[in-house]
Chain A
Amino acid sequence: MDHSKQIQEIASRLFAENKIDYFVGYRQNSFDDTQVPFLITDPAEIPKLVFTERSVFNLSNYLKPDHTKRKRVGLVVKGCDSRALNLMLTESQVKRENVYIIGICCEGVLNEKGEKAQNCVECVMPDPVVYDEILGTASGKREYIVNADIKELAQKALTERADYFENIFENCIRCNACRHSCPLCYCAKCCIDQETSTLYHGANTSSAGMHALMTWSLHLAGRCVDCRNCEKACPSHLPLHLLHKQNEMVIYENFQQHLAGMEKDDRGAFYKYSLSDPDDFIL
């Protein structure tokens, strides 16, 4: 899955036609074969752009105004990234005319160890759902699968589950890298950061940390697209996907097999209300 050449060509064309102010892609790291997000405003940097199965980071994150200042952006997205972008468009965070989307039919990216990433194994939609230009061959929607770790977790008793998560959160340093790397966490001021909040405050106590992560995962319930940017960003390697995947499973089972960001203008499971909505999963 090497689309570097095509992406470089498209970027050159977009800059030449003055269609974009920023191009967001990937660049090779100097010391190993991993890649980092690469924001360019200068066409001279285009030859550094690459795209391979090492292009892991979800670039939709850079559409937040802090990074590209609401200007016109050319962007490379994989299947999951495009779902996140779809939600950002639906939630009016990005103007469609301000972003030129290069969609990649993804064959799965690699994790740190060089194996196919777990979320790619479980991927339901490897093809971009929103794009201006598409690269690669579309392979279509796949069946939704729930991995064994989530099933196992769901079967645990509530107290057991609480202990399980407490053990995980113990290592959280509250750096908020998970939130900052999530394209769908775009609030100008997160509720977790409110100075006067008595629940979350800044302190690194286990109760405050747990509250913060729980609230965060609930704000993403029905919106998380399983790109696992958060998990890759976490300096403590916390298995954060457990929170999101469990929510996703509950929502899939209870809300007409809903998956976030798959369709245009789909505002997510919790934005639609119907009397027939189930409620027996609520504690």
Chain B
Amino acid sequence: MEQLLVPAICKIEKIIDETPDVRTYRLKINDPAKMESFSWMPGQFVEFSLLGHGECTFCISSSATRKGYFDCSIKRAGIVTADIHSQLEEGMDVGIRGPYGNWFPIEDIKGKNLLFVGGGIGLAPLRSLIQYCIDNRNDYKDFTILYGARTSADMCYKEEIEEWKKNPTVKVILTIDKPEETWKENVGVVPKVLEEVVKPAIENTKVITCGPPIMIKYTLVSLDKLGFAPKDVITTLEMKMQCGLGKCGRCNIGSTYVCKDGPVFTYEQLKVLPDEF
């Protein structure tokens, strides 16, 4: 067990400032053989350690189809994340364990229309899947990305969103909560824009959503209203985790371990879990 908890040392290749409180860390495992064999699926997570400060759970926000590196996008929220932001610089070492958990059902969503609904830092796990799907574009049909943030400054992956916009096979809809002078896209919370602007087709469509709890809550209501079946709505959960191995007993909701059986669940699966989050 103890060996399983020992992280691999990674070098920070690049730090990208996404928003005032979100940074993306581009990482590469120092041992080339380990980096070569390090493979993950969209939706999986890693245990990221700033040695001497502690471990945190983050999803990998890039796709394994883009080789040689992986990204973790980290929002400053607690003690360890504040330390990560203030102490880590490019070229420094961090520890990584993983990847752990299940992933988005990429086989199930093949040949379907995909609707991504993201809010704030919730775009991070979606980005991994979006990149994966763009790199395997022919496997999927229509592609819609709805992304909302509190303000335009709080939007993550701005450059990449521009790229997606240029891609003719991808439809991108952006929204912010309150009007801003230079903002030309939608204004309003995600569920409202989803109902009024996106008006998605239900037929043969899978919805993949992630965002702050309050957004998820109302988005699920909107999707229900629009007529989506719970099994077609896929989301990813966040729980406090420590080991990622199904041992430390922290992340369970009922007899379901978020770290092993999740973090990706369909709304149908979530509905039967005890209401603990």
Contact = CB atoms under 8 A, between A and B. Distances in A.
B79 interface: yes
Interface string A177-199: 00000000000000000111010
Contacts of B80: 195-196
Contacts of A194: 79
Classify the interface of chain A: helix, strand, loop or mixed. loop
A194 B79 CA distance: 9
Interface residues of A, number: 4
Interface in A158-214: 194-196, 198
Interface of B: 52-54, 79-80, 83
Nearest to B83: A196
Contacts of B54: 195-196
Interface string A23-49: 000000000000000000000000000
Nearest to B80: A195
A196 B56 CA distance: 13
B79 A195 contact: yes
Output the residue of A194, A195, A198 with the most chain B CB within 10 A. A195
A195 B53 CA distance: 8
7 contacts: A194-B79, A195-B53, A195-B79, A195-B80, A196-B80, A196-B83, A198-B52
Interface of A: 194-196, 198
Nearest to B54: A195
A198 B54 CA distance: 11
A272 to B, nearest CB: 34
B1 to A, nearest CB: 16
Contacts of B53: 195-196
Nearest to A198: B52
A194 B80 CA distance: 11
A195 B80 CA distance: 8
B235 to A, nearest CB: 28
A196 B52 CA distance: 8
Contacts of A195: 53-54, 79-80
A32 B83 CA distance: 52
Nearest to B78: A195
A196 B53 CA distance: 5
Given A195-B54, A196-B79, 7 more contacts: A194-B79, A195-B53, A195-B79, A195-B80, A196-B54, A196-B83, A198-B52
A253 B79 CA distance: 42
Contacts of B79: 194-196
Nearest to A194: B79
B198 to A, nearest CB: 41
A95 B53 CA distance: 38
B206 to A, nearest CB: 38
A-B complex: 10 closest residue pairs judged by Cβ atoms: A195-B54, A196-B79, A195-B79, A196-B53, A195-B80, A196-B83, A196-B54, A198-B52, A196-B80, A194-B79
